[in-house]
Structure 1
Amino acid sequence: MSGIGILILAAGASRRLGQPKQLLSYRGKSLIRHVAEVAIASGGEPVGVVLGAYSETIKPHLANLSIHIADNERWSTGMASSIRCGLGEILTISPELDAIVLMVCDQPFVSSDLIRQLISGYQTSNSAIVASEYAGILGVPALFDRTFFPELFQLRADVGAKSIIRRHRSRSLGIPFAEGAIDLDIPQHLDIL
């Protein structure tokens, strides 16, 4: 599966949650380590993690993993800056990358099998975008062919990759991931852990 990188967006300050969601305990480890291990086990490479708020506190939780950390100093300007920062870092490592899978750190039920399904869907269809399908939408984790890298670099503020998926729905393939609707944004969501 070389040629397909993975980028985990984990730079946010978790303001609505009131604590760093990256460091929530899940299955005996921090959520960020769990998601990073899922990404590594999926077989895509390189794997990058974008950090911002709490960067120095989070880094020890990623020790001894085969990942590349990108520090987004502009994390407070919105998710788009993390996508640009991380994609730039990944392309510096692997300039010939065919595609990138974008993940977020607050979907605890993401699995390496799901990531492999996204990659397989890309390899066996003519779809330039392969996205997780949940709650009536296509969203992340999502794979983007390199032809979309310029659009990813053009994102601004809090406009994320879903805007590109919506714009190019006819070129997108959905992979069922019902649990993708569950993310950890507010304290009430922590009951699932």
Structure 2
Amino acid sequence: MTTTTEEKKYNKLILALSIIIPLAVAVLFGVKIPNVEPLSFLPPIYATINGLTAVLLFTAVWAVKNGKRTLHEKLMKVCIGLSAAFLVMYVAYHMTSDSTVYGGEGVVRYVYYFILISHILLSIIIIPLVLISFVRALAGRFDRHRKIARITYPIWLYVAVTGVVVYLMISPYYAT
């Protein structure tokens, strides 16, 4: 299978974004804006965005399997928008607030850190997968889109769901 000209023109952008976004988040995570009120209201909002993303991803897959291609396309665009909004809020929160330390003990602590670490690592991996899936759909290469979407979907769904789980597990320990 050959890569179309349209796909090729986006490959460099996908590669750049797949590197720049995680690096920017890592750098900005360490930047604290002085004399700014902490944006402590954001975690429940971005956790809700993760939950909504999970529901919409599930609905989008249902839509395409039931021949509702236009609905699928619209839902996927909303999911990408929600993920971008999540990212902005997440970075803004961490630039104005100290990181919250998980206070759970015993086995639950190990479960929390396993979920958190897998969530973070897969959230990095999902960036190029989503972008490649999106570009292939835009290019009308639905054969190639389906192949990568089968990998992208469960990872993206896991990241969205575990984002909610991480929030629920750490929320009792947020400073009030």
TM over 0.5: no
Higher helix share: 2
- More relative contact order, 1 or 2 (CA 8 Å, 6+ apart): 2
- Structure 2 length-normalised TM: 0.25
Higher strand share: 1
- Structure 1 length-normalised TM: 0.24
